[in-house]
Amino acid sequence: MQNESLNRLDVQLSEIARLAGRPETELLTVHPKVSAWSVAQHLDHSLKVGSAVLGVILTPKDPPKAGINLAGRVVLVIGRFPRGRGESPKPLRGEAADTPKLLAAVEKARALRARVTAETLLSPSPVLKHPYFGGLSAAQAVKFLSIHTKHHLAIVADILRAP
């Protein structure tokens, strides 16, 4: 399962890189009925969250005292969460970004991801404090990250499909 989440994350980073190469007009596309954010903002946010989570997994500083809560367990089991329910911490909010900035962020996330191995994910101790889901172990954090990225890639797809 742990390798599955890492593999899924690799595929998602490739998809973000592909989307980042789309024309700037598409990256700046916003469809308010789908989301208030543009395609670029969703990609930028996903990459910021990815790098932040992977960075914490690799160098945990202040581990949470408590583990995952019920909401976190539900999200990890069902593999999704509803749109428009949570608010991103200010430093992780998506910003309008052009292709070079997004691709540089993809490479940063890939470099961090390359350092996370299946062995990194073995400890059940919480390493990441999530504002809604409690303390996540490294394996839970990677699974959350994959779910989070899937969530934003689905929104991007809906924006690009909207009339």
Q: What's the average pLDDT block by block, 10 residues per block, for the chain (163 residues)?
A: 85 98 95 96 98 94 90 95 83 93 98 94 92 94 97 97 88
pLDDT of residue 114: 96
Find where tokens 């916003």 sit. Answer: 30
CA angle 123, 124, 127 (to 5 degrees): 80
Complete DSSP assignment for 73-142? HHHHHHT---TTS----GGGS-----HHHHHHHHHHHHHHHHH--TGGG---SEEEEETTTEEEEHHHHH
State residue 160 phi and psi, 5-degree precision. -70, -25
Return the structure tokens found at 88.
């991103």
The pLDDT value given to residue 73 = 96
pLDDT, residue 1, reads 52
Tell the CATH topology of 2-161.
Four Helix Bundle (Hemerythrin (Met), subunit A) (1.20.120)
pLDDT at 63: 85
